[in-house]
């Protein structure tokens, strides 16, 4: 079973996997594509799923991109609707208002499935690097299952 962490991104374009890897390489985080599970052009922005290897012999981190295709019933909009329902009315909470506004402006989501049965500290570090890419380069807001929404390392809206 996996654990999910998401980046809700407001940038107009999805980055190529190659550009993500290049950014991480510059920060001494070297990841690669699991080509036995994923066949994708590293320079294409049109990818939907990728299996990311952080360490040989460990299960990969699965990364999935869901785009806003302009319809109300697209997977990305359905997911955002569910999170808006979980959050409820923001009331006087500026943090909840911030998250609601961000979700409504999001253009795509990146979901990371972490293989909790076979992940080590290097895997969590790799996932942090991936998440940071989307925060710093794509206007990403982070959500972790069973926790909530984060601004940096600070939990700003707790969810059950």
Whether 98 is covered by a domain: the verdict is: yes
Whether 85 is covered by a domain: the verdict is: yes
| pLDDT tens-place string over residues 35-94 | 999 899 999 999 999 999 999 999 999 999 999 998 878 999 999 999 999 999 999 999
Per-residue pLDDT band for 151 (boundaries 50, 70, 90) equals very high
Whether 26 is covered by a domain: the verdict is: yes
Whether 158 is covered by a domain: the verdict is: no
Whether 14 is covered by a domain: the verdict is: yes
Expressed as residue numbers, the domain containing 21 is: 2-153
Whether 18 is covered by a domain: the verdict is: yes
Is residue 1 over pLDDT 60? no
- How far is 68 from 103, CA to CA, in rounded Å? 12
Orientation of helix 94-105 relative to helix 75-87, angle to 10°? 170
| pLDDT tens-place string over residues 87-128 | 999 999 999 999 999 999 999 999 999 999 999 999 999 999
- What domain count does the chain have? 1
What is the average pLDDT across 134-160? Answer: 95
pLDDT at 160: 75
Is residue 155 over pLDDT 90? yes
Query: pTM of the entire structure?
Result: 0.94
Residue 54: name the closest of 9, 22, 21, 8 by CA: 21
Is residue 157 over pLDDT 90? yes
Whether 159 is covered by a domain: the verdict is: no
Phi-psi region of 6 (alpha: psi -120 to 50; beta: other; left: phi over 0): beta
């Amino acid at each position: 079973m996996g654990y999910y962490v998401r980046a809700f991104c407001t940038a107009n374009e999805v980055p190529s996997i190659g550009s993500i890897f290049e950014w991480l390489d510059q920060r001494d985080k070297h990841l690669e594509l699991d080509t036995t599970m994923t066949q994708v052009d590293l320079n294409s922005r049109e990818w939907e799923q990728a299996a990311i290897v952080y360490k040989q012999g460990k299960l990969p981190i699965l990364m999935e991109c869901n785009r806003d295709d302009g319809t109300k019933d697209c997977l990305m909009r359905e997911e955002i609707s569910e999170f808006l329902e979980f959050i409820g009315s923001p009331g006087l909470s500026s943090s909840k208002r911030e998250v609601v506004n961000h979700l409504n402006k999001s253009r795509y989501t990146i979901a990371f499935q972490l293989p909790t049965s076979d992940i080590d500290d290097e895997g969590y570090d790799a996932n942090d690097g991936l998440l940071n890419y989307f925060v710093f380069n794509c206007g990403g807001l982070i959500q972790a299952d069973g926790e909530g929404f984060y601004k940096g390392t600070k939990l700003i809206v707790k969810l059950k």
